[in-house]
């Protein structure tokens, strides 16, 4: 694979990880990319690197354009290893390069690698380096995605090198947003936000406010496609997500032992359908929690169903709720249901954990003993009425 020119003198020199299917628990069904960019001006700058196993690929792409000793600056926007993994190699081989990074990232890189001998220059928000015709200005965007995160802005080309923000876990055949089906890019952008950026909505909102006045013509994130034709659209989507806006739909997430909770889940689905509310029906036996999170992001109503198992919930539900609570979705209307044999305290406990997320709970948890009868299922639907008022 070659380096790809995204604008005259600016090249993609990253790596495609087409086969990765698990990104610490996130199911990456379309693979991923680690995007690194090389700017060849009077001075030469590399922006970010790749995951360690792809270091040689990145080095080969760079050396197809310039020799490593010609690199003046290596910008580390974020210390996480999907972007810094190749730093030890490039810092060893690019003998004349200076590492440009934020104070936080500098400290974090020292906790990841032996940085002895690296020439490091710390930059803060508003500081710039000149490459000749071009400039790179840095903006710290703490917690988008780690405390060390930073973005780099090239005003002459109006390109924002946004690191994790606006990324997608996607390994496209081509580099740009107009070369991959739009529905796939936006689905993967939503999934990426819901599984990675969601807990940092407030910080991302602030970063977004800093980005908008720049009116970038290209956003080059560190994963997935480079945005060149849909910049306003992805900014608009982020604008909705950081404000916790939903599309009014419902999501039912459940697991079952003897299909009693499945019957209840179907009854809950019937209720939403009878109100013409679009509903997504997800069994934890078949749907992956990282895919369910995409629906959590867009849904208004979230119904959680589990039977009681040994005075606790199904392990699949425990895993999902632990994962979801860490991602801190806000502004939802929640509801808990499930079957039980002799102890239904569990459903109330789950309800309390949803209240801790500041969700509204207009309908108390509904528990049905053993197998629900037709009458009990009808009563369940009737009980749901206050949910949508």
- In the complex, least distance from residue 153 CB atom to Fe ion, rounded to whole angstroms: 19
Catalytic-residue membership of 82: yes
- In the complex, least distance from residue 278 CB atom to Fe ion, rounded to whole angstroms: 31
- In the complex, least distance from residue 81 CB atom to Fe ion, rounded to whole angstroms: 9
Gap between the Cα atoms of 103 and 118, Å rounded: 14
Distance of CA 239 to the CA centre of its chain: 15
What contacts 348, CB < 8 A, 6 or more positions away?
Answer: 336, 364, 365
Size of the chain, expressed as the number of residues it contains = 389
> Which CB sits closer to Fe ion, 144 or 159?
144
Task: Write down the catalytic residue from 83, 145, 169, 347.
Answer: 145
> Which CB sits closer to Fe ion, 131 or 175?
175
> Which CB sits closer to Fe ion, 82 or 177?
82
Tokens 């790596």: give the residue. 15
- In the complex, least distance from residue 98 CB atom to Fe ion, rounded to whole angstroms: 23
Please tell me whether residue 272 adopts helix, strand or coil conformation. helix
Catalytic-residue membership of 288: no
Catalytic-residue membership of 164: yes
Gap between the Cα atoms of 97 and 62, Å rounded: 14
Q: Which residues pair with 362 in a beta bridge?
A: none
> Which CB sits closer to Fe ion, 246 or 290?
290
Q: Which of 355, 352, 343 is nearest to 311 (CA)?
A: 343
Task: Write down the catalytic residue from 17, 41, 80, 177.
Answer: 80
- In the complex, least distance from residue 198 CB atom to Fe ion, rounded to whole angstroms: 13
Distance between terminal CA atoms of the chain? 56
Nearest 10 degrees: Cα torsion 124, 221, 5, 228: -110
- In the complex, least distance from residue 62 CB atom to Fe ion, rounded to whole angstroms: 20
Catalytic-residue membership of 145: yes
* Residues of this chain that bind Fe ion (CB under 5 A): 80, 82, 145, 164
| Radius of gyration of the chain from its Cα atoms, rounded to whole angstroms | 24
Gap between the Cα atoms of 118 and 194, Å rounded: 36
Catalytic-residue membership of 238: no
Task: Write down the catalytic residue from 223, 301, 347, 351.
Answer: 223
List of E strands, 142-191: 150-154, 159-163
Distance of CA 364 to the CA centre of its chain: 32
Catalytic-residue membership of 223: yes
In the structure encoding, which two tokens stand for residue 1, read together?
Answer: 């694979």
- In the complex, least distance from residue 164 CB atom to Fe ion, rounded to whole angstroms: 4
> Which CB sits closer to Fe ion, 78 or 300?
78
Cβ atoms of 128 and 42 within 8 Å: the answer is no
> Which CB sits closer to Fe ion, 160 or 354?
160
Task: Write down the catalytic residue from 17, 48, 82, 188.
Answer: 82
Catalytic-residue membership of 193: no
Gap between the Cα atoms of 262 and 268, Å rounded: 10
Give, in degrees to the nearest 5, the angle at Cα 271 between 267 and 274.
130
Catalytic-residue membership of 112: no
> Which CB sits closer to Fe ion, 51 or 280?
51
- In the complex, least distance from residue 32 CB atom to Fe ion, rounded to whole angstroms: 8
Gap between the Cα atoms of 193 and 88, Å rounded: 29
Task: Write down the catalytic residue from 26, 78, 238, 347.
Answer: 78
Tokens 């109100």: give the residue. 275
Give, in degrees to the nearest 5, the angle at Cα 285 between 283 and 290.
75
> Which CB sits closer to Fe ion, 82 or 351?
82
Gap between the Cα atoms of 237 and 216, Å rounded: 16
Q: Which residues pair with 99 in a beta bridge?
A: 74, 120
Task: Write down the catalytic residue from 11, 34, 192, 238.
Answer: 192
Active site (catalytic) residues = 24, 78, 80, 82, 145, 164, 192, 223
């Amino acid at each position: 694979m070659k380096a790809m020119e995204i604008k005259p003198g600016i090249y993609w020199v990253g790596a495609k990880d087409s086969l990765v299917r698990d990104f610490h628990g996130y199911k990456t069904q379309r693979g991923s990319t680690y995007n690194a960019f090389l700017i060849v001006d009077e001075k030469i700058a590399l922006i970010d690197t790749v995951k360690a196993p792809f270091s040689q690929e990145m080095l080969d792409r760079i050396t197809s354009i310039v020799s490593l000793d010609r690199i003046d600056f290596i910008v580390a926007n974020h210390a996480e290893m999907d972007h810094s993994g190749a730093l030890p190699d490039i810092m060893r081989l690019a003998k004349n390069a200076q590492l440009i990074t934020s104070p936080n990232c500098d400290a974090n890189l020292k906790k990841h690698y032996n940085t002895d001998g690296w020439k490091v220059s710390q930059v803060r928000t508003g500081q710039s380096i000149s490459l000749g015709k071009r400039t790179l200005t840095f903006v710290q965007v703490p917690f988008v995605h780690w405390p060390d995160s930073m973005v780099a802005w090239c005003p002459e080309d109006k390109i924002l090198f946004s690191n994790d923000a606006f990324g997608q876990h996607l390994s496209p055949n081509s580099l740009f947003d107009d070369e991959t089906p739009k529905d796939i890019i936006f689905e993967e952008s939503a999934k990426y936000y819901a599984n990675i950026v969601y807990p940092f909505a407030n910080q991302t909102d602030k970063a977004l406010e800093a980005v908008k006045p720049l009116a970038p013509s290209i956003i080059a994130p560190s994963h997935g496609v480079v945005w060149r034709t849909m910049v306003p659209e992805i900014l608009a989507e982020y604008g909705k997500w950081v404000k916790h806006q939903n599309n009014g739909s419902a999501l039912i997430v459940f697991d079952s032992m003897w299909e009693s909770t499945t019957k209840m889940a179907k009854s809950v689905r019937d209720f939403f359908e009878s109100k013409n509310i679009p509903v997504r029906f997800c069994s934890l036996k078949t749907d992956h929690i990282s895919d369910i999170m995409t629906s959590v992001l867009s849904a208004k109503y979230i119904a959680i169903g589990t039977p009681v198992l040994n005075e606790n919930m199904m392990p699949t539900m425990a895993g999902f709720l632990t994962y979801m609570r860490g991602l801190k979705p806000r502004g939802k209307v929640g509801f808990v249901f499930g079957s039980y044999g002799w102890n239904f305290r569990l459903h109330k406990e789950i309800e309390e954990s949803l209240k801790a997320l500041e969700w509204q709970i207009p309908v108390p948890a509904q528990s049905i003993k053993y197998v629900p009868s037709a009458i009990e299922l009808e009563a369940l639907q009737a009980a749901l009425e206050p949910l949508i008022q």
